[in-house]
Structure 1
Amino acid sequence: MSTELTATPAQTPAAPETTRGVPVWRPLTDVVETRDGPMLVLEMPGVAPEDVEVTLEKRVLTVRGRGRNPQPENLRPAHLEYEPGDYERAFALSEDFDAERIEAVMRNGVLTLSLPRAAEAQPRTIRVKAA
């Protein structure tokens, strides 16, 4: 049984309009397959854990992050590598994920989501016997 996870291509900026006057970016995302299910690793620099919203509705996992633009006092940036803004990305999940066990951890601008498969969806190897 294969696990299906579909994402839109990473493009910058994302399609949603903003009411805050900042761009909305589609965070770069790595998908890593683990024994329990896929893990998503999203880059969202400038986003604090309390400013992240993860929702799952009708098999669509949506991640939103509200970026902060801290300006150091009495300093003016000479060069910026990224433009601060908000982040949003959605993923269509197959039905074999256990929604109650999804976990999210935010550390240093990187959000890690663990998407465990439901027990009945865990892949198993079938032993072949000689006849």
Structure 2
Amino acid sequence: MGQKDISVSGDHKVEKSQLSDEFFIRPAVDIFETEQGLTLVADLPGVDKEELTIDLDQGLLTVQAKGKSQMSGDSIRREFLHGSFYRQFQLSDEIDSENIAAEMKNGVLTLLLPKSAAARPRRIEIKTT
């Protein structure tokens, strides 16, 4: 398990879509591994659950969201990034794709990516004859 189980590419924070003229923000993520699987935590400020979609197609996990600015009025200076978020991850076959779970709280998405039973560590019983 580890780096071979999930592929992450690109470090740019803002990129232009290859399919349209729209720009999107590549959210920062942290990925942790346990014996049970991977936990992916993505920072999606200003995003509500209703504006978020998570798709899995042939091992490609796609996270998309429409963010919105919480402020009203004319902008004098903007340093926070607001807009659409987009990020993709290639998952290995060792991830149990049927049992992926997602939780969104305070602009932070947490994805639980469990290992398949065959990929989990286990102790082999030794029999005597």
Under TM normalisation by the shorter chain, which class is it?
0.7 to 0.9
Query: What are structure 2's unaligned runs of at least 5 residues?
Result: none
- Using the aligned pairs only, state the percent identity: 33
Which deviates the most, 25-34 or 76-85?
Answer: 76-85
Residues 65-109 of structure 1 deviation map (CA, whole Å, 9 limit, x = unaligned): 11123443xx44444331211000000010011112101111111
Residue 14 of structure 1 and its aligned partner are, at CA, apart by 2.8
Residue 127 of structure 1 and its aligned partner are, at CA, apart by 8.2
> Could you say what secondary structure the match of 2:50 adopts?
strand
Determine which of 77, 97, 100 is the counterpart of 1:99.
97
- Alpha-carbon distance between aligned partners in 1 of 2:19 and 2:66, rounded to the nearest angstrom: 11
Aligned length: 124
Match of 1:110 in 2: 108
> Could you say what secondary structure the match of 2:118 adopts?
helix
Task: Say whether 1:40 aligns with 2:24.
Answer: no
Amino acid of the structure 1 residue aligned with 2:87: R
TM-score (normalised: structure 1) = 0.81
Match of 2:68 in 1: 68
Which deviates the most, 7-16 or 97-106?
Answer: 7-16
Query: What are structure 1's unaligned runs of at least 5 residues?
Result: none
Task: Say whether 1:54 aligns with 2:54.
Answer: yes
- Aligned-residue Cα RMSD (Å) equals 2.3
**CA gap 1:125/1:80 in 2 versus in 1, 3 angstroms:** farther
Residues 18-51 of structure 1 deviation map (CA, whole Å, 9 limit, x = unaligned): 86x8630110010111231111111111111111
Contact 2:25-2:81 at 8 Å conserved across structures: no
TM-score (normalised: structure 2) = 0.82
Match of 2:11 in 1: 10
> Could you say what secondary structure the match of 1:105 adopts?
strand
Amino acid of the structure 2 residue aligned with 1:113: L
Deviation above 4 Å: which 4+ runs of structure 1? 125-128
